Structure 1
Amino acid sequence: MFRFLFLLFILVPIVEIALLIQVSEVIGGLATIILVIVTAIIGAKLVRQQGMDALQNVQKQMAQGQMPAKELFTGLCVIIAGVLLLTPGIMTDLFGFLLLTPAVRNKLAAGLASQATVRMSAQVQHGQSHFQHHQTTDNTNDRAEQPTTIDGEFKRKD
């Protein structure tokens, strides 16, 4: 994980600088700076709006006694989008705006949910086989499984 983060913090700024240089050669330096500032302003407004909507939806779901998993994921995506949009650059702005798009968030949520389902089912299968192994070895002792009760007394000494 450390290597991944290290590469991420090295590669992203290098790519951003290269993109900013290429864009400034096409549209000019001042226009590039204005573009970065305008995308940050628009992104901040969108993040604020969608963040408030997500917060209200979370509160509404919790008031109804439901787990707001989808709304929490939306809130997380909006927070990440806000960080990306406030980071100067073209690539980070693109990823930030993509995270603000409900279709992209839904696709991402579905992909993560399927990954979690696969991992959980693999763990459950492993856990069941582990449980079945212990169950078969315990039954060879020809004794019934009884819960263990520990009885004792407690005195407090101050």
Structure 2
Amino acid sequence: MGRALALGAPLAAVLEIAVFVLLGEWIGYGWAVLAVLALSFVGMMLLRREGMRAWRGFVASANAGQPPGERVTDSVVGLGAGLLLTVPGFLSGAAGLILLLPPARKVARGGVQRWAERRVSAAVAGDFFGPRKVKVHRGTPESDGAIEGEIVP
């Protein structure tokens, strides 16, 4: 992970600069700077909104006795979109805007949930995301009486 980040960050910076230069030549550098500033401003507003939304959703779920996982993961995706918009650049801004679209947000929310479930114990995942569904494979039982299966989120 660290190696990919070490290689990916400079590559992303070079791509952002190249896109900025191309867009600056096309629409003018003043307009390009204004567009980057506008995207960053939208990102800051989104960060504030999603942060408050995450906290309110967590508190509401906790007070209702429901697992807060779905609300929190949706807000984490929103925070990620806000962070991408806040970073100066058109490619990161485009990625942030894409994460605001409901289909992309749903896919990203599923990815965040799977990532979180792999990093915590099954009990914590159950408390956070609700009861897990178990898919049982039919067949001959093992000699120790265990049933082979897999947990499906």
Q: Which TM-score applies when normalising by structure 2?
A: 0.68
Identify the residue that residue 47 of structure 2 maps to in structure 1: 47
1:126-141 counterparts in 2 under 5 A?
A: 135=144
TM-score (norm: length of structure 1): 0.66
* Higher Cα Rg, which structure: 1
The alignment-based identity, stated in percent, is 28
Q: 1:10 to 1:108 in 2, by over 3 A?
A: same
1:59 and 1:89 map into 2 onto residues whose CA distance is 34
- How many Å separate the matches in 2 of 1:79 and 1:96? 9
Identify the residue that residue 2 of structure 1 maps to in structure 2.
Answer: 2
- 1:17 Cα offset (Å): 0.5
SS for the counterpart of 1:66 is coil
2:106 counterpart of 1:83: no
> Structure 1: how far apart are the matches of 2:11 and 2:93?
16
The equivalent residue for 1:110 is 110
RMSD (Å) for aligned C-alpha atoms: 2.9
Which moves more between the two structures, 61-70 or 23-32? 61-70
SS of the residue aligned with 2:89? coil
The total of aligned residue pairs comes to 124
Q: Does 1:18 align with 2:11?
A: no
Name 2:125's counterpart in structure 1.
none
Residue 43 of structure 1 contacts residue 97 of structure 1 at CA under 8 Å; is this kept in 2? no
**Unpaired segments ≥5 residues, structure 2:** 123-135, 137-141, 146-153
Runs of 5+ consecutive residues of structure 1 not aligned to the other structure: 126-131, 137-158
- Once the two structures are overlaid, the 10-residue window that deviates more, 14-23 or 64-73, is 64-73
User: Is residue 37 from structure 1 mapped to residue 37 from structure 2 by the alignment?
Assistant: yes
